[in-house]
């Protein structure tokens, strides 16, 4: 005999994320408006337990080299045995933690990432669309289940500026183009016609993207 039953419970797990923190020059807890914050997700090559690997490339490197960078930057490191798309709840918990620790303008929280980190951006923003004011995914796509109109439509109002190399052999440009039909009027796309996978070095050196981020708030 089959009997229909249900179970309600709670599952908790312990998480650990090392992260690199950049504070703007002259950072003060007393700044009345708070500071804009960027959550940066690195690529697969920087996974592991050596946080200094994050200084090799991407926004963690850029902010390290520019002490006048006006954003708080949170750059967590992904364990080598996992992937950012599997750590969405951990990333959300980290953001909630730093919001309680730092003087952050909650209306100006931004998200960016490269390659594996770009995948993480799409999935984190879809899971928590109310959290971010704008997003810059680079050389990325999504896992297949996120490509349905029903899932992507939650991002249609989020300002997104995506970057990709036309000759990318790691994440083919078709991966980002699959998403474009489902995104809204706030979506921008820049394609580098002669570039391969590494388009993030040029992108993060482009100061225009930071001005674009600051135009957006929740």
Whole-number pLDDT of residue 156: 87
Whole-number pLDDT of residue 5: 67
Distance CA 19, CA 35 (A): 18
Helices 88-101 and 116-127: angle between axes, nearest 10 degrees = 80
Whole-number pLDDT of residue 195: 97
Adjacency order of strands within the sheet including 35-41: 19-22, 72-76, 35-41, 104-114, 134-138, 160-165, 187-192
Closest CA to 42 of 213, 198, 164: 198
Taking the mean position of all CA atoms in its chain, how far away is CA 186?
A: 17
Distance CA 124, CA 57 (A): 21
Query: pLDDT tens string for the chain (218 positions)?
Result: 677 766 777 667 788 899 999 999 999 999 999 999 999 999 999 999 999 999 999 999 999 999 899 999 999 999 999 999 999 999 999 999 999 999 999 999 999 999 999 999 999 999 998 999 999 999 999 987 777 767 778 898 999 999 999 999 999 999 999 888 888 899 999 999 999 999 999 999 999 999 999 999 99
Whole-number pLDDT of residue 34: 96
In contact, 78 and 20? CB cutoff 8 Å: no
Distances (CA, A) of 162 to 49, 158, 173, 202: 29, 12, 11, 13
Whole-number pLDDT of residue 11: 66
Full set of structural domains in the chain with CATH:
19-214 (3.40.50.1820)
Whole-number pLDDT of residue 133: 98
In contact, 158 and 186? CB cutoff 8 Å: yes
Closest CA to 209 of 33, 27, 40, 30: 40
What would the two tokens of residue 139 be?
A: 């050389």
Closest CA to 217 of 66, 49, 105: 105
For 177, counting Cβ atoms within 10 Å of its Cβ (0-12 exposed, 13-18 middle, 19+ buried), the class is middle
Closest CA to 116 of 43, 38, 24: 43
């Amino acid at each position: 005999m089959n009997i229909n039953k249900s179970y309600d419970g709670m599952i908790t797990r312990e998480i650990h994320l090392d992260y690199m923190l950049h504070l703007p020059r002259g950072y003060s807890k007393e700044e009345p408006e708070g500071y804009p914050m960027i959550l940066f997700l690195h690529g697969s090559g920087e996974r592991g337990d050596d946080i200094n690997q994050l200084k090799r490339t991407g926004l963690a490197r850029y902010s390290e080299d520019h002490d006048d960078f006006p954003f708080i930057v949170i750059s967590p490191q992904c364990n080598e045995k996992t992937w950012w798309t599997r750590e969405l709840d951990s990333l959300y918990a980290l953001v909630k933690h730093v919001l309680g620790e730092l003087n952050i303008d909650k209306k100006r929280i931004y998200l960016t990432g490269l390659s594996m980190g770009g995948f993480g951006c799409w999935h984190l923003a879809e899971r928590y669309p109310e959290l971010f004011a704008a997003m810059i995914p680079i050389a990325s796509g999504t896992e297949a289940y996120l490509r349905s109109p029903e899932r992507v439509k939650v991002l249609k109002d989020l300002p997104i500026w995506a970057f990709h190399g036309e000759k990318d052999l790691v994440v083919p440009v078709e991966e980002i183009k699959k998403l474009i039909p489902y995104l809204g009027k706030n979506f921008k796309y820049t394609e580098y016609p002669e570039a391969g996978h590494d388009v993030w070095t040029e992108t993060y050196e482009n100061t225009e993207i930071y001005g674009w981020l600051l135009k957006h708030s929740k």
